[in-house]
């Protein structure tokens, strides 16, 4: 049964990671120029030569998709206000004393997901990481897919997650959406192939693996199966030189300006 399923496994992230081209993504944009996960940070990453950006997606209580890494935001009292339990207008009120999300300055937190298409160049690549706080699906996978489809961004967008259930659900909704499994678990000995098995089991098109775990045998095995490999987070010229020998397809960096002078 496994062999039959494997024979039908046809990962395809060639649109996002074209053959012969190394894709560089700014980690949450370019945080040296603007706060992470803001439109300003993404614009800065593009300005300094990135092909696009990796950003984090969460959903508010009233079903607004926003860019934000943590599960909550800090209020003036110091207590976190959980994004999934708060309406978008209330989150803006906590942050900026305003409720109009359409006029948030580019360097301010909590932009809407749609802003990455309405306020940024059309040809940039976007890696959308769906954030979850457990093993269950996020519950808004279909809404992310719908926005990708509405903006005609299927070719230049990949959805990533550490959550295997999220990636399975994405493919069940729309098998043409490009997906990447995030991996940061160290495996040793005969278990070295676990990241590849996990990628296969989620029907993902790419493996997004931590720099310290990016071994040559893993990357070669991925490529034999047609799985693209993106490595994170590459922040020094020395890391670039090491990873360059591994023939990867993409890298995510906090240091867009430095890395673009190297690759």
Cβ-contact 253, 24 below 8 angstroms:
yes
99 occurs within a structural domain: no
93 occurs within a structural domain: no
pLDDT value of position 101: 55
Distances (CA, A) of 246 to 4, 182, 253: 30, 18, 17
pLDDT value of position 154: 98
- Is the dihedral angle over the CA atoms 234, 35, 137, 169 positive or is it negative? negative
Q: How deeply is 58 buried, as exposed, middle or buried, from its count of CB atoms within 10 A (0-12, 13-18, 19+)?
A: buried
What domain count does the chain have? 1
Ranges in the chain, pLDDT < 50: none
Which tokens sit at 157?
């967008």
Full domain range(s) for residue 224 = 2-58+114-260
DSSP state of 22: -
pLDDT value of position 83: 97
How would DSSP label each residue in 186-234?
---GGGTTHHHHHHHHTT-SEEEEEGGG--HHHHHHHHHHT-EEEEE--
35 occurs within a structural domain: yes
Whole-angstrom distance, CA of residue 243 vs CA of residue 156: 23
DSSP state of 113: T
pLDDT value of position 29: 98
pLDDT value of position 108: 87
86 occurs within a structural domain: no
Cβ-contact 236, 211 below 8 angstroms:
no
Cβ-contact 214, 239 below 8 angstroms:
no
Which tokens sit at 161?
């997650």
Whole-angstrom distance, CA of residue 185 vs CA of residue 155: 29
94 occurs within a structural domain: no
Residue whose entry in the numeric block shows the structure tokens 């519950």: 139
Query: Which domain CATH number covers 163?
Result: 3.20.20.190
104 occurs within a structural domain: no
Report field, pTM of the whole predicted structure over 0.75: yes
pLDDT value of position 220: 97
Residue whose entry in the numeric block shows the structure tokens 């991996």: 183
75 occurs within a structural domain: no
For 103-151, what is each residue's pLDDT tens digit?
667 888 899 999 999 999 999 999 999 999 889 999 999 999 999 999 9
210 occurs within a structural domain: yes
């Amino acid at each position: 049964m496994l062999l039959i399923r494997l024979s039908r496994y046809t990962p395809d992230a060639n649109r996002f990671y074209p053959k012969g081209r190394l894709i560089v993504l700014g980690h949450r944009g370019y945080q040296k120029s603007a706060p992470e996960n803001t439109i300003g940070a993404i614009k800065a990453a593009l300005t300094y030569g990135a092909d696009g950006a990796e950003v984090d997606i969460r959903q508010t209580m009233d079903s607004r998709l926003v860019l934000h890494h943590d599960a909550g935001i800090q209020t003036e009292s110091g207590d976190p206000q959980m994004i999934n339990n708060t309406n978008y207008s209330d989150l803006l009120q906590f942050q900026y004393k305003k409720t109009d999300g359409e006029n948030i300055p580019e360097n301010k937190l909590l932009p809407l997901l749609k802003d990455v298409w309405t306020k940024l160049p059309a040809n940039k690549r976007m890696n959308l990481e769906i954030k979850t706080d457990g093993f269950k699906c996020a519950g808004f996978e279909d809404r992310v897919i719908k926005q990708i489809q509405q903006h005609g961004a299927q070719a230049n967008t990949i959805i990533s997650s550490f959550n295997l259930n999220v990636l399975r659900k994405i493919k069940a909704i729309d098998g043409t959406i490009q997906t990447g499994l995030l991996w940061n678990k160290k495996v040793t000995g005969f278990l070295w192939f676990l990241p590849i098995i996990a990628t296969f089991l989620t029907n993902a098109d790419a493996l997004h693996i931590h720099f310290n775990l990016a071994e040559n045998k893993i990357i070669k095995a991925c490529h034999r199966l047609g799985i693209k490999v993106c490595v994170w987070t590459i922040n020094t010229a020395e890391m670039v030189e090491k990873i360059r020998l591994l023939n990867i397809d993409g890298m995510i960096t906090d240091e867009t300006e430095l890395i673009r002078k190297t690759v």
